[in-house]
A = this chain, B = another copy of it.
Amino acid sequence: MDEEAVNRPLVLVHRPPNFHFPFRHRLATQFNLFDPFDSPDSTRSSLLCRHAHNIRVLLCVDPTPVSSDLLSLLLALELIVGSTVGVDHINLPKCRRRGITVTNAGVAFSEDVADLAVGLLIDVLRKISASDASFEPPPGLKPLGGKRVGMGKIGSEVVKRLEAFGCIISYNSRRKKSAIPFPYYPDVYELVVNSDVLVVCCALTEETHHIINKDVMTALGKEGVIINVGRGALIDEKEMVKLLVCGEIGGVGLDVFENEPHVPKELFQLDNVVLSPHCAVATPECFDALEELIVFNLKAFFANKPLWSVVNLE
């Protein structure tokens, strides 16, 4: 490492072993990236221990788990810059206790996720993938117009799009949001009773784990459609598969699964199921926006300036 590089602010790169993020080289021109996976297996732990006391910032690439043990090692840690929207892979209670700030991908991904959510919904209702595969006119097509769409936590970009299709929006969230002009249901069960389509786009927390359970899915009904672009474990996947197989729900469009990369094999056999391999945020434009956000937050931190997309740990 040259002298100039050593003088750059130190950032610990925390990533899956085989994943290289696209803008690493550009980050390296501005920060001193310390990536344990650059070193051989045998020296990795000792190297991390030796530098741990200097590490104030951790860049978490992909949803790489940030465990209690790792946090215990990094006693000088002040900031975790996440590269995902969901931060369920980070031990948030410990961050809160230690006063560690966590930022996420914020709005960098919102538009791409919303595009895919709407694409999956049109596909389920209009059976586009099924038609594309079989080229048979599919029975039972359904229009988007007039569909009552409920959201588990409001996805403002999804709402913006679906309103243009004539859908009727309502939402569930922990709290009613005064800025949002749609009917609010404090209980997700009440939401689905009043919806034809449920778009799941909230964070996975202890509170939201399996929030879409058997009762909620049954209440959505035989014609009901579920789109999930949040996290797999928001839905009780085992129950969902059973209900789909029995025809107790109308269809699903899924970009996320409970035990990725595992996907229940029954899902591949159903025409009213559209699957996407967790790739809502995979366009180059998305990564550009993420790079901009990450560079902004790293620079802002070392310059003692306010950060973007800080996760509320309360």
Chain A residues engaging chain B, CB cutoff 8 angstroms: 111-112, 115-116, 118-120, 122-123, 125-126, 128-129, 131-133, 135-138, 141-146, 160-161, 163-166, 263, 268, 274-279, 282-283, 285-286
Cα distance, A283 to B144, chains bound together (Å): 10
Does B137 contact A279, Cβ atoms closer than 8 Å?
A: yes
Does B137 contact A126, Cβ atoms closer than 8 Å?
A: no
Known: A133-B133, A163-B164. A141 touches B275 (CB 8 A): no
Cα distance, A164 to B279, chains bound together (Å): 22
Chain B residues whose C-beta falls within 8 Å of the C-beta of A164 in the assembled complex? 160-161, 163-164
**Closest chain B residue, CB of each to CB of A145:** B111
Chain B residues whose C-beta falls within 8 Å of the C-beta of A145 in the assembled complex? 111, 115, 285
Q: Which of B119, B138, B141, B282 contacts A122 (CB 8 A)?
A: B119
Known: A111-B145, A128-B128, A285-B145. A123 touches B133 (CB 8 A): no
Does B141 contact A277, Cβ atoms closer than 8 Å?
A: no
Does B143 contact A274, Cβ atoms closer than 8 Å?
A: no
- Least CB distance from A30 to B in Å reads 26
Cα distance, A69 to B274, chains bound together (Å): 48
- Least CB distance from A218 to B in Å reads 24
Does B126 contact A119, Cβ atoms closer than 8 Å?
A: yes
- Least CB distance from A142 to B in Å reads 6
Does A115 contact B131, Cβ atoms closer than 8 Å?
A: no
Does A276 contact B129, Cβ atoms closer than 8 Å?
A: no
Does A128 contact B277, Cβ atoms closer than 8 Å?
A: no
Q: Lowest 6 A-B CB distances belong to which pairs?
A: A119-B122, A164-B164, A129-B132, A129-B129, A143-B283, A161-B164
Q: Which of B136, B143, B160 contacts A277 (CB 8 A)?
A: B136
Cα distance, A176 to B235, chains bound together (Å): 50
Known: A141-B283, A142-B283. A128 touches B123 (CB 8 A): yes
Known: A145-B285, A164-B163, A282-B137. A126 touches B116 (CB 8 A): yes
Chain B residues whose C-beta falls within 8 Å of the C-beta of A123 in the assembled complex? 119, 123, 128-129, 132
Chain B residues whose C-beta falls within 8 Å of the C-beta of A279 in the assembled complex? 131, 137-138, 141
Does B111 contact A166, Cβ atoms closer than 8 Å?
A: yes
Chain B residues whose C-beta falls within 8 Å of the C-beta of A276 in the assembled complex? 126, 128, 131-132
Does B115 contact A143, Cβ atoms closer than 8 Å?
A: yes
Cα distance, A164 to B132, chains bound together (Å): 26
Known: A128-B274, A145-B285. 13 other contacts (CB 8 A): A115-B165, A116-B128, A123-B123, A128-B276, A131-B279, A132-B133, A136-B277, A137-B277, A137-B278, A137-B279, A143-B285, A161-B161, A161-B165
